[in-house]
Structure 1
């Protein structure tokens, strides 16, 4: 039977990676959209040679891998270049995600994506799980984890989809405002519920 697809998302500092790893520990097949975005630009993949042809070898590190921060600066300042890059990479990332999800043998499979809502990826999911967190806790966790200032984190939050928008698209919400053991037990509870679903629906 084909596994149904669960989209797992959450803002910066929400704990979505921790939640995802608990699902993986329970034997659920998962793909991280951020990993897929890295895989498509690995050395030897066509996308990397197209990017270096367009931007020159300055965007490659000495070992031949992509210098992400240089590329980010280049496209950040030039909307036309950013569009070109998105048009090149988005279909490849979609295909990469599809390939990895198609190998799933668990009853359901998970796509972990911080941009699940913004990118429209949620449309190809049968169900959406939002890892939610109160703003103050989100700021504290992100500042501690990324060694960043409150201003930097607020700037990131500003460009991410609002919490209200995420809540609007979520079928399930896990409020991650307690300790790690509680998160693990909540993931286990959701997992047991998900095992009862057919095609992501009760």
Structure 2
């Protein structure tokens, strides 16, 4: 019996030593995991701070853009890749004689003077194919009452992960003297 007790005591000592060894290994792994967690938390905190900064900058930029957009100093629109009007300022409505609601049901192609359409669409397609970043053309639109509106159009493309949207500026050009000669 004493022999069995010594055997059990010896096995217990071996198991205790083994458990102690595993415990130390577990503690080392836990320390490494804690250090990695701290580093990850620091990176996350830095990323979160950057995201907040970028969000504030984006919001400020967006507000500034919309203020400029709504000042109606020049005609400005945002159009889709399908040539639909997405956003329209009042200067465009005044220039073309349509309400926002009417323009939202149309495309800019429908209002472009036929002789100017091919050149505009050619540039537009190059921009969508990323061959050019922007373009400016002089083109004519047909006003709601039928007269021709002479404009200079600048188009810029902006892309996000889901789709492209296009920012279009129209400035009315005063070609009335040329119009009278022609």
Q: Please give the TM-score of this superposition, normalised by the length of structure 1.
A: 0.21
Report 1 or 2 for greater relative contact order, CA contacts < 8 Å, sequence distance ≥ 6: 1
Which is richer in strand?
2
Q: Please give the TM-score of this superposition, normalised by the length of structure 2.
A: 0.23
